[in-house]
Amino acid sequence: MSGGVLADGPLADGYGLVVGPPPLDDYLRLRRDSGLSPKEPEQGAGAIAGSWSACHVVDPEGVPIAMGRTIGDGGWYFHIADIATDPAHQRRGLGRAVVEWLVADVRARAPRGAYITLVGDPPGQRLYRSLGFQDVAPSLGMALPID
């Protein structure tokens, strides 16, 4: 992953898309403030380090206000995670821009036949469907939390 603001793109109002994850403190803040489950710094650091790719959006002052990342094996399986937008900046297409960038990155760098998955919580399902994601029924997402 490399860093740097992308000059061209679908963002308006002075927002910029940055290739790479946001700093750890911003990652943790965006998860918490957007309604995703809060994580400890050790968890966030591991998540960032274990990402196949990531991007985030900064406001005109350079503050990270949206993010997402891809977990992947580099072969065929890629999972989009941590799509989060600061509530004060929602409904401006920033989450869409993040997901579109992540999908485009997989398309550009992954071998043919790659498979992209995500867990679509209710607030994001409409967005994900509009981008071509489909329910995988009869499959069902499952989790095993480790305490």
Tokens linked to 102: 């992540």
Q: Are 67 and 82 in contact (CB under 8 A)?
A: yes
* Structural domains counted in the chain: 1
Range of the domain at 109: 5-130
CATH number at residue 96: 3.40.630.30
Q: What is the structure's pLDDT at 94?
A: 95
Q: What is the structure's pLDDT at 89?
A: 96
Q: What is the structure's pLDDT at 6?
A: 52
Q: What is the structure's pLDDT at 9?
A: 55
Q: Where are the beta strands (DSSP E) in the chain?
A: 5-6, 16-19, 53-58, 64-72, 77-85, 115-118
- Asked whether residue 144 is assigned to any structural domain, the reply reads no
Q: Which residues of the chain have pLDDT under 70?
A: 1-10
- Asked whether residue 66 is assigned to any structural domain, the reply reads yes
pTM: 0.89
- Asked whether residue 111 is assigned to any structural domain, the reply reads yes
Give dist(CA 145, CA 120) in Å, integer.
Answer: 18
The CA distances from residue 95 to 37, 54, 57, 104, 142, in Å, are 17, 13, 9, 14, 24
Q: What is the structure's pLDDT at 7?
A: 44
Tokens linked to 46: 């591991």
- Asked whether residue 138 is assigned to any structural domain, the reply reads no
Q: What is the structure's pLDDT at 2?
A: 41
Q: What is the structure's pLDDT at 139?
A: 87
- Asked whether residue 64 is assigned to any structural domain, the reply reads yes
Q: For residue 132, give every residue at least 6 positions away whose Cβ sits within 8 Å of its Cβ, in sequence order, or none.
A: none
